[in-house]
Amino acid sequence: MRQALTAGLLVAACLQSAAVAGDWRGEVSAEMRQFFASPVDPVQHDRFLSVSGEIEFHDEWDDGRHSLTVRPFARVDQHDEQRTHADLREAVWIYHNDGLEIRAGVDKVFWGVTEVYHLVDIINQTDLVENPDGEQKLGQPMLKMSRESEFGTFDLYLLPWFRERLFPGAEGRLRTQPRVAEELSSFTSDRGERHVDLAARWSKNLGDWDLGVAHFRGTGRAPRLLPGIDASGLPVLKPRYEIIHQTSIDLQGAVESWLWKFEGLRRSDSLDEFFAATGGFEYTLYGFGEGNSDIGILAEGMWDERGDSATTPFNHDAFVGVRWVANDVDGTELLAGVVADWDNGSRFYNVEASRRIGNDVKVGIQARAWDRVDATDALYPLRRDDYVELKLTKFF
């Protein structure tokens, strides 16, 4: 929170110097999550109301060569004190000129191509209290240099400050049992969260294919969770952050109606060294049933050499799903699928749909369910957390 305040002051200073001439935009969301089974831990709740909002300021000068973007975010949750949080998602100055790009500040970077499991994505920490899908990220302080040439794009990242993962609080659902105590986290590096992480990435478009190769050296974003006791003597899990080396590859190709996707990596830390991969395809039937809508069939596999001792539930799993895009005026979309562990049979179902109402309101629904979850599976703590989320967002 202290960091957020410092960052906020910095933002205010930046805004003042930019003379507040740029564009402002924002959004507010109201959300309800309803869980259907009684919780594993009686302190957890069944229904959560929540509101969130973000504002974005953007300005450009020198014919767009320089820009400044600032985007703070905040959420208030009815029960989960951890989910009530604020974060500076972006506060970044960008300079670009003729294939050279420099970014300095707090930014968000996504690497990867697959639909379900974002294996190689590593620059930003996951904001796990926002959504268990791991797609929401915390702003990452960075200095990035990027050079585009005929030999591809080279990116260099200097990441001077580490952000710890946010985990749901004691009263929240979709959490481990027992809860993760962020206050008890520890690091293998003496420098802790001040360890300077480095990353490099090369990517190139090869006609129908896009290839990326990257290396990251620094504090791993996914901690090990070790058993411990909190201040009031209750059992908790303590995050332990390791220094890791990760080399990764990502590849996506578009061949007629097929999209092919692959991500693979090798990661090592003081205790472990392993390979992991995920990949698959999306096949789209355009103008399905003589109409305007598209139907996509998705299939992906996930594999982790560590097997049952992996820190991810996606260790020996397969996903099949279907995407329906109506191509209508309201932008109606639906994605439904199931991830099944081929080793222990655990299943995870996911349905998400959204559409616009008018020009500046969007309504979304997400439903998630866990079935036949094996006690050895990393999803086991979520076995009673089937839920539906309704979300209404107003843009302005």
Partner 1 sequence: MRIEGWLLAATIAFATSAVLAESDVDKGLAIAQEADRRDTGFHDFRAELTMLLRNRQGEESSRVMRSQSIEVDGDGDRTLIVFDEPRDVQGTALLTYSHKSGDDDQWLYLPALKRVKRIASSNKSGPFMGSEFAYEDLASQEIEKYGYRYVRDEEFDNQPAFVIERDPVDENSGYRRQLVWIDKAEYRPLKIEFYDRKDSLLKTLLFKSYRQYLGRYWRAEEMFMENHQTGKSTLLTWKTYEFQVGLSDADFTKNSLKRAK
Determine, following the binding rule CB under 8 A, whether residue 45 of this chain makes contact with partner 1.
Answer: no
Coil, strand or helix: which one is 244?
strand
The residue type found at 255 is V
3-state helix, strand, coil split of the chain in percent (to 5) is: 10, 55, 35
Nearest to 228 by CA among 243, 220, 240: 240
222 φ/ψ angles, rounded to the nearest 5 degrees: -95, 115
Determine, following the binding rule CB under 8 A, whether residue 273 of this chain makes contact with partner 1.
Answer: no
The one among 7, 94, 181, 378 contacting partner 1 by CB under 8 A: 94
- Minimum distance from residue 49 beta carbon to partner 1 (Å): 22
CB 138 within 8 A of CB 125: yes
d(CA 82, CA 142): 25
Q: How many residues does the chain have?
A: 396
Determine, following the binding rule CB under 8 A, whether residue 192 of this chain makes contact with partner 1.
Answer: no
The one among 3, 13, 24, 25 contacting partner 1 by CB under 8 A: 25
The one among 38, 231, 359, 375 contacting partner 1 by CB under 8 A: 359
Burial of 19 (0-12, 13-18, 19+ CB in 10 A): exposed
CB 85 within 8 A of CB 165: no
Q: How far apart are the first and last CA of the chain?
A: 27
Determine, following the binding rule CB under 8 A, whether residue 190 of this chain makes contact with partner 1.
Answer: no
Could you tell me the two tokens for 73?
């975010």
The residue type found at 331 is G
The one among 3, 12, 49, 99 contacting partner 1 by CB under 8 A: 99
Binding positions for partner 1, 158-177, rule CB under 8 A: none
Q: Which residue has the tokens 């929401």?
A: 136
- Minimum distance from residue 259 beta carbon to partner 1 (Å): 5
Determine, following the binding rule CB under 8 A, whether residue 101 of this chain makes contact with partner 1.
Answer: yes
Determine, following the binding rule CB under 8 A, whether residue 23 of this chain makes contact with partner 1.
Answer: yes
The residue type found at 48 is F
Could you tell me the two tokens for 43?
């302190």
Determine, following the binding rule CB under 8 A, whether residue 371 of this chain makes contact with partner 1.
Answer: no
Determine, following the binding rule CB under 8 A, whether residue 66 of this chain makes contact with partner 1.
Answer: no
Binding positions for partner 1, 124-143, rule CB under 8 A: 135
Coil, strand or helix: which one is 73?
strand
The one segment of 171-179, 204-212, 219-227, 231-239 that binds partner 1 by CB under 8 A: 204-212
Determine, following the binding rule CB under 8 A, whether residue 108 of this chain makes contact with partner 1.
Answer: yes
Binding positions for partner 1, 325-344, rule CB under 8 A: 327-331
Tell me how many residues contact partner 1 (CB under 8 A). Answer: 52
d(CA 297, CA 282): 5
The one segment of 7-15, 173-181, 247-255, 272-280 that binds partner 1 by CB under 8 A: 247-255
Determine, following the binding rule CB under 8 A, whether residue 208 of this chain makes contact with partner 1.
Answer: yes
Determine, following the binding rule CB under 8 A, whether residue 34 of this chain makes contact with partner 1.
Answer: no
CB 258 within 8 A of CB 281: yes
The one segment of 72-80, 176-184, 249-257, 336-344 that binds partner 1 by CB under 8 A: 249-257
What is the pairing mode between strands 235-241 and 186-187? parallel
Q: Which residues of the chain form contacts with partner 1 (CB under 8 A)?
A: 23, 25, 27, 58, 60, 67, 69, 94, 96, 98-99, 101, 108-110, 112-113, 135, 146, 148, 153, 203, 205, 207-208, 210, 252-259, 282, 284, 286-287, 292, 294, 327-331, 356, 359-360, 362, 393, 395-396
